[in-house]
Amino acid sequence: MVASANSTQSISITLRVWRQAGPKAPGKFVDYQSANLNPNMSFLEMLDVVNDELTLKGEEPIAFAHDCREGICGTCSCTINGKPHGPGKGVATCQVYMRAFRDGDVITVEPFRAEAFPIIKDLVVDRSAFDRIQQAGGFITARAGSAPEANALPVPKPDADLAMDAATCIGCGACVAACKNASAMLFVAAKVGHLGLLPQGQAERDKRVLAMVSTMDAEGFGNCTNQYECSAACPKLISHDFIARMNRDYLGATVRAAFKPESMASGGGA
Amino acid sequence: MATLDPKIPSGPLADKWRKHKTDIKLVNPANKRKYEIIVVGAGLAGSSAASSLADMGYKVKCFVFHDSPRRAHSIAAQGGINAAKNYQNDGDSVHRLFYDTLKGGDYRAREANVHRLAEVSVNIIDQCVAQGVPFAREYGGLLANRSFGGAQVSRTFYARGQTGQQLLLGAYSALSRTVGAGLVELHTHSEMLDLVIVGGHAKGVIIRHLVTGAITRHSADAVILATGGYGNVFNLSTYARQSNATAIWRAYKRGACMANPCYTQIHPTCIPVSGDYQSKLTLMSESLRNDGRIWAPKKKEDAKKAPADIPEADRDYFLERIYPSFGNLCPRDVASRAAKRMCDEGRGVGETGLGVYLDFSDAIKRLGEAGVRERYGNLFDIYHEITAESAYQQPMRIYPAVHYTMGGLWVDYNLMSNVPGLFVLGEANFSDHGANRLGASALMQGLADGYFVIPYTIGDYLAGQKPGARPSIDSAEFKAAADGLASATKRFLDTKGKQPVSHFHKRLGKIMWDHCGMARTKEGLEAALQKLPALREEFHATVNVPGSADTLNQSLEQAGRVADFIELGELLCRDALTREESCGGHFREEYQYPDGECKRDDEKFGHVAAWEFQGEGKAPLRNTEPLNYEFTKMSVRNYK
């Protein structure tokens, strides 16, 4: 199954990779030469090859995050030549192929950088802040067994389609890495937009946006200053319009929360 | 010898589940919080189980090796999820879905399990919609459906080509809600490396934290494994790179039986391998076969030519030729095997000779390029991204690839394994798909198990366990398991051999694919059973695992998984060798009809084979559970 070396023009590159042994250790760029690469190999397969070579030389391989390798799980997270997920539009790191580079190129590879994404090792960062934002309110409460008949609640097709546009977010964090403020607004807005557009999501709409935004702030993400780098870097091309929608929801929810009387209800009963 | 009591409730098929739900024991609400349940895995089955059990009041700990539960590979499922809603008014019913699924599985699944799956399918859609899953809708705002293979009704619900993603994010949102509310303790980067059995019952797990390397012990009143399938035993597959069999394999070595491991599904339309560096195969949806025509060159010497240079007369539309009534839309296993035969004859195309053409030129003539783009545009884009070729201008190259495993740990009707207290859900168990899974049924089963089966059936076991009687993690069983793990880790790191882990995974994959892939023979399987123990020995003697145990060490993680895959591969071949018949995804060349269809032997093999570990170096024991078909007749599967 070996691809013959002469059938496709193989390329050689210099890989300039961020190496960092642990969260507290100092990091630095290290250069590696990689020769005879088939341009049809994916960027992550190139890293596999480099890592096997390092292993054979007795060096520790480069740690990088990856899993599905088809652009849907959101695990891979490299900044390639300064761009989160590298060259190409609407793709994740795992969908970058070596044919995007030329023979002799120097390719700089870094982790997604943000204060809220501490580095674990080399190119692997900790994105658990995203999970905590979801846990704060990124859901519709619906216990198993309690759901009404699915077609009891029609959803206008345009709303369902727009909700789906937002729901395609893969939670990779490229939006944060691309933003000069390390803002997570696109990520949060995508979930707020998805659930807020659906009739099922109305009961918790105010509570959701307030909880998710306050958790986002507490996790150390910055704010949006309308540069839209997030949308440009997003592998699913989620529109920054959802940020405007979230801001509107947040404002409304804040005002309503200030004037909303609280129920005196307490537990107990006959 | 293991006791394999399927515990199928008595009575008419359609009443079994309802009756069972009223018969099984309950745990009262105040007592539920005294029980602790461990859930390993957070894909569709794991997330839905963890959140549902937490909502009921149980204390739940959920362990995932990913950095977030949202990464589980359920996310990659494209097509859809079946449910017998009959929204299309086309005659669908619970019985029809039951029948299609049972027949699709080539009559190797349990009737009662499959019927229950069909029954709860309708609840799944309700549940997902309530959670905000943005399924496709019609202009009136009601849910849309599409058709899928193996069915004559339209019952598949979908969210563009990302149905798995949306269902998983729905289950993840439910899990996140229960984690946020303090009802589930979520442990990420946490890989289960052993099952702890105390007094014959599953009472805990040993976990390695993949970032810190810490090995911790966790006890519980019951353990649920929802850790997915084992298709990466073939190395190259449509699975995620990290998908592994370690949790189920280590449970097997602790006494849980492994059922029908040889039932593996190979999907005909994937993008072919381009070189030995390849890590992953990508699926091209089966729907393409509606309009694409599959062919290979008639002459070997044309195989390396550009497709445009091969005249029409020299093209062999082999599916249309061999299967004139079904043509390009013949069943998955038949299409896969036919493509393999063309390549074996030296007529395979592409750089590696392992590929055939899927040609849209006729469809483009008929529908125009815009018409084809409207139907399949996103798939053509993916194809272009990976191969840099335009399928509008030249035919796609495709080749079959592994993408699902029907076999798994044996479970009874309650989804409990033969080890009391150990439950297995989703792809990790063996129960509902028989020898072949139909499209859009995997998502259905994962969510059925997690939302609507385990919440009922786990109570039946827990009601018999004294609340608060969990063993201490300082007990001898926990200590022995944790110590065993630490020394296994040390052995890997100390070997300092010549080859990286990936080298062995590739070799394992090649042995499995060559001898236990699409077409299996006695000779081939026997050869594999010679090669695999040698590979295993070589692996342990010469593997090179750099780095240390107390930090993120991806080589070390992979080493443990590949070690398990090599052992599992051996069991898979053994199962394939002993099952002297062809059924669904298991095709033995010796057992086929003249037209290449599977020749089952219901007399001798109308049973589940459940393998029981007998100790290192000893042959495993083959237990059987007879499949008693009370309501359906086992017949020859016919889609003509």
Pairwise CA distance, residues B96 & B151, whole Å: 9
Phi/psi region, residue B206 (left: phi>0; alpha: psi -120 to 50; beta: rest), is: beta
B residues 107-136 closer than 8 Å to A (CB): 123, 125-132, 134-136
Question: Which residues in chain B have their CB less than 8 angstroms from residue A44's CB?
Answer: 279
B600 catalytic? Reply is no
Under DSSP, the state recorded for B71 is: G
Kindly list the distances between the CA atom of residue B407 and the CA atoms of B333, B428, B434, B468, B616, in Å, as whole numbers in the listed order. Answer: 16, 8, 8, 34, 22
Distance CA B567, CA B481 (A): 19
A217 touches chain B (CB under 8 A): no
**For residue B141, which residues of chain A lie inside 8 Å, CB to CB?**
154-157, 160
Of B52, B242, B282, the CB nearest to A70: B282
Q: Give me B494's structure tokens.
A: 């100390």
Identity at A126, one-letter amino acid code:
D
Count contacts between A and B (CB, < 8 Å). Answer: 234
| pLDDT value, residue B605 | 98
Sign of CA dihedral B84, B86, B90, B94: positive
A90 shares contact with chain B (CB less than 8 Å): no
- Report the distance separating Cα B115 and Cα B121, nearest Å: 10
Whether A5 contacts chain B with CB within 8 A:
no
Distance CA B236, CA B282 (A): 10
What DSSP character marks residue A15?
Answer: E
Per-residue pLDDT in tens (0 to 9) along chain A, 270 residues? 333 333 468 999 999 999 999 999 999 999 999 999 999 999 999 999 999 999 999 999 999 999 999 999 999 999 999 999 999 999 999 999 999 999 999 999 999 999 999 999 999 999 999 999 999 999 999 999 999 999 999 999 999 999 999 999 999 999 999 999 999 999 999 999 999 999 999 999 999 999 999 999 999 999 999 999 999 999 999 999 999 999 999 999 999 999 888 787 776 665
Confidence at residue A2, expressed as pLDDT on a 0 to 100 scale: 35
Q: How large is the C-alpha radius of gyration of chain B?
A: 24
Q: Which of residues 225-244 of B touch A (CB under 8 A)?
A: 240-242
Residue A194 · residue A171 · CB < 8 Å: no
**Spatial CA neighbour of B21 closest among B391, B321, B420, B453:** B453
Nearest CB to A139; choose among B137, B176, B502: B176
Give the closest of B127, B140, B276 to A154, CB-based. Answer: B140
Q: A203 at the B interface (CB within 8 A)? A: no
Q: How many residues belong to chain A?
A: 270
Distance separating alpha carbons of residues B506 and B225, to the nearest angstrom: 27
| Nearest Cα residue in chain A from B180 | A135
For residue B349, CA distances in Å to A10, B318, B443 come to 21, 14, 34
CA nearest B78 in A: which residue?
Answer: A72
Q: Which two tokens stand for residue A94?
A: 């795992």
Rg (CA), chain A: 22
The whole-number pLDDT of residue A122 equals 98
So what's the pLDDT on residue A270? 58
B449: DSSP letter = I
CA distance A130 to A176: 11
Q: How far apart are CA B560 and CA B575, in angstroms?
A: 23
Find, in chain A, the residue whose alpha carbon is nearest to that of B125. A150
Per DSSP bridges, beta strands A28-37 and A11-19 are antiparallel
CA atoms within 13 A on the CB side of B289: 25
A57 touches chain B (CB under 8 A): no
Task: Measure the CA–CA gap between B555 and B493, rounded to whole angstroms.
Answer: 10
What ranges make up the beta strands (E) of chain A? 11-19, 28-37, 78-80, 83-84, 106-111, 119-121, 124-125
Give the distance from residue A170's alpha carbon to the nearest chain B alpha carbon, in angstroms.
8
Considering only CB atoms, which chain B residues are within 8 Å of A120? 211, 552
Q: Tell me: the pLDDT tens digits for A226-268?
A: 999 999 999 999 999 999 999 999 999 999 999 888 787 776 6
Instruction: Write out the H or E segment, with its range, that includes residue B370.
Output: helix B361-387
pLDDT for res B638: 67
Superfamily of domain A11-121: Beta-grasp domain (3.10.20.30)
Q: How far is CA B290 from CA A86, B77, B146, B149, B339, in A?
A: 35, 20, 13, 11, 17
Is it true that domain A127-141+154-259 has CATH number 1.10.3860.10? no
Q: What is the ipTM of this complex?
A: 0.96
Q: For domain B267-401, is the CATH number 3.40.640.10?
A: no
The domain made up of B479-606 has a fold known as: Methane Monooxygenase Hydroxylase; Chain G, domain 1 (1.20.58)
Q: Are the beta carbons of A16 and A107 closer than 8 angstroms?
A: yes
Query: What confidence score (pLDDT) does residue B274 get?
Result: 84
- Judge whether A149 is closer than 8 Å to chain B, CB to CB: yes
Residues of chain B found within 8 Å of residue A133, distances taken between Cβ atoms: none
Q: Chunked in runs of 10, what are the mean pLDDT values of chain B (640 residues)?
A: 94 97 95 97 98 98 98 92 96 96 94 98 98 95 84 87 94 98 98 98 98 97 98 97 98 98 94 89 83 94 95 95 81 83 93 93 93 81 90 95 96 98 98 91 97 98 94 97 95 96 97 95 98 98 96 97 98 98 95 87 98 97 97 81
Domain with CATH 1.10.1060.10 in chain A: 127-141+154-259
**Chain B stretch 293-332, residues whose beta carbon is closer than 8 A to a beta carbon of chain A:** none
Beta strand spans in B273-421 (E):
293-297, 315-316, 356-359, 396-405, 408-409
Question: What chain A residue is nearest to B182 in terms of C-alpha separation?
Answer: A135
Contact B377/A at CB under 8 A: no
Q: Is A232 touching B (CB cutoff 8 A)? A: no
Contact A7 B500 (CB under 8 A): no
Q: Where in chain A is the domain with CATH 3.10.20.30?
A: 11-121
pLDDT at site A105: 97
Chain B residues with CB under 8 Å of A75 CB are 66-67, 71
Rounded to the nearest angstrom, the minimum Cα separation between A234 and chain B is: 17
Burial status of residue B635 (CB atoms within 10 A of its CB: 0-12, 13-18, 19 or more): exposed
The predicted structure's pLDDT at residue A6: 37
Domain ranges of chain B: 267-401, 479-606
